[in-house]
Amino acid sequence: MSATTVGVEYRDQVRAFIAANAPAGQWYDGVRVPRDTGTERAVRNWYASLFDAGYMGGSWPVEYGGSTDHRPEYDAVVMEEIVRARAPRPIDQVMLAAHLIVTFGTASQKRRHLPRIRSGQDIWCQLLSEPGVGSDLARLSTKAIRQEDGTFRVDGQKVWTTDGQWSQMGVLLARTDPQAAKPHAGLTMFVVDMSTPGIDVRPIREMMGSDEFCEVYFDGAVLPADSVLGEVNQGWSVANSGLASERAYVGANTVMLELLFDDLVELARCVELSDGPGIGDPVVRTELADFKARVTAVQHIAQDAVAKVSAGTDTPTDGMIAKLLYTELNVALCRYAMTLANAGRLTEAGHVVHRRWQQAFLWSRALTISGGSSEIVHNVLATQLLGLPRSW
Ligand SMILES: Cc1cc2nc3c(=O)[nH]c(=O)nc-3n(C[C@H](O)[C@H](O)[C@H](O)COP(=O)(O)OP(=O)(O)OC[C@H]3O[C@@H](n4cnc5c(N)ncnc54)[C@H](O)[C@@H]3O)c2cc1C
């Protein structure tokens, strides 16, 4: 059963819960970090309420609040409805950190970290990319060298760390064996307390005017021996498992296309062209119809991928195809919206819609980079799906 066929009743229940409990205000594209302490408290409480109500963490072990009759498609529905409501999403701590701790964590790591994720006390970040490596992550150079007492000394720099400035914890991929025969063979995943001395988090100001990412410097930070997640030098498979777990949520992302399409229709109503509102123009109407068809097609492809993930019958390229189509269509929608907005005069209401589009436009490229850039996805599809030779 896919997310689309989970009972309407369950979806309605989730919608009602979100309407009653999500923090006020709309969270637009690219806005992920709370701007003040009041908002931060509200977001943490919101995350905790999702766990308390059983809408998050259902797949966790029962002793940590999971449910025996949990179905993966429930998670997909919850994420879809959070996106539809433009409410904040607990992305890294649910998709990556919690997944890794449940899958690879020791009993003591589960005891220590899962309850604090449930209660909203700990926000997590991913410490993977570096100034010199992103797509080619296996070549990362941050070192974690084991000391005589079993601890690890970490030196290096991470970048593009989403949520770094308000995270208590992070998952760090670092090189523990610089002599390993292959780059990915000498990597280890760690859980990191972000308040450890020797860790310096510096927010990055972006073109959208906000600080959504951080640089994170490690200068002799010492991590305890029991901070290894999984096995030493097996970090590559741990990291891949975490990134793959995001596949189940690609359907939720395509809900954003629906919202954008609605905004496009709204914009067309608010643009005065030389012969009347854009919505009455035959060329604009043709574009709208075309976008509607493309949004619907991508949603079907994404739902199919999510259904396969739920049934355990997916291949690694299913989610990638959906991700590629969704992110590139997102860019196309944003580009067209900006062209349309500039083709005429905006009504007063149109300025509000236009501001949303400007935000969405600036953010749209980011989605074609995170979680595997479009070029890398093309490469993977060419080699893994079509069996073509590598070109790099
Ligand atoms: C919204 C967002 C959130 C992010 N959050 C995090 C986070 O929380 N933690 C974290 O660690 N990182 C995060 N990142 C970073 C992200 O993982 C990297 O940006 C991504 O892996 C690409 O790496 P890069 O930026 O170094 O680009 P590069 O790998 O240097 O790529 C630059 C360009 O070259 C292209 N390219 C690279 N290799 C090839 C090739 N072999 N063939 C063809 N083209 C190629 C790429 O497609 C891209 O267009 C985030 C990024 C974004 C956009």
Q: Hey, what are 203's tokens?
A: 């927010």
pLDDT in tens, 207-264: 877 888 999 999 999 999 999 999 999 999 999 888 777 766 777 888 999 999 999 9
Question: Is there an atom of ligand 1 within 6 Å of 369 CB?
Answer: yes
How far is Cα 126 from Cα 97, in angstroms, rounded to an integer? 8
Number of Cβ within 10 Å of residue 36's Cβ equals 8
Please check whether residue 202 is in contact with residue 158, taking contact to mean a CB–CB distance below 8 angstroms. Answer: no
Mutate which of 331, 362, 369, 381 to test ligand 1's pocket (most atoms within 8 Å of Cβ)? Answer: 369
pLDDT in tens, 266-309: 999 999 999 999 999 999 999 999 999 999 999 999 989 888 88
Q: Which CATH class is domain 243-385?
A: mainly alpha
Number of residues that this document lists for the chain: 392
Question: Is there an atom of ligand 1 within 6 Å of 126 CB?
Answer: yes
Nearest to 72 by CA among 300, 252, 307, 303: 307
pLDDT for residue 33: 82
pLDDT in tens, 130-173: 999 999 999 999 999 999 999 999 999 999 999 999 999 999 99
pLDDT for residue 348: 92
String of b and e for 112-122 (b: at least 16 CB within 10 Å)?
A: bbbeebbebeb
**CA separation, residue 74 to residues 10, 84, 296 (Å):** 8, 15, 22
Residue 390 carries which DSSP code? P
Of the options 2.40.50.140, 3.40.190.80, 3.40.50.10490, 2.40.110.10, the CATH number for the domain spanning 125-233: 2.40.110.10
How far is Cα 32 from Cα 123, in angstroms, rounded to an integer? 12
pLDDT for residue 27: 65
Q: How far is the CA of 132 from the centre of ligand 1 (A)?
A: 10
Q: How far is the CA of 79 from the centre of ligand 1 (A)?
A: 24
How far is Cα 171 from Cα 351, in angstroms, rounded to an integer? 41
Asked if 125-233 and 243-385 have one fold, the answer is no
Q: Is 9 a catalytic residue?
A: no
Residue 187 pLDDT exceeds 50? yes
pLDDT in tens, 10-38: 999 999 999 999 998 766 666 778 888 88
pLDDT for residue 28: 62
- Structure-model confidence comparison of residues 71 and 17, the more confident one: 17
Domain ranges of the chain: 8-122, 125-233, 243-385
| Among the ranges given (188-202, 264-278, 315-329), the one the predictor scored with the smallest mean pLDDT | 315-329
Q: How far is the CA of 349 from the centre of ligand 1 (A)?
A: 37
pLDDT band at 1 (very low <50, low <70, confident <90, very high): very low
Q: Which CATH class is domain 8-122?
A: mainly alpha
pLDDT in tens, 357-387: 998 999 999 999 988 899 999 999 999 999 9
How far is Cα 285 from Cα 290, in angstroms, rounded to an integer? 9
Instruction: Report ipTM for this prediction.
Output: 0.98
Residue 5 pLDDT exceeds 70? no
Residue 61 pLDDT exceeds 50? yes
Please check whether residue 357 is in contact with residue 341, taking contact to mean a CB–CB distance below 8 angstroms. Answer: yes
Q: Where are the alpha helices (DSSP H) in the chain?
A: 8-21, 37-52, 72-84, 91, 99-104, 107-118, 235-244, 250-270, 282-311, 316-342, 348-367, 374-380
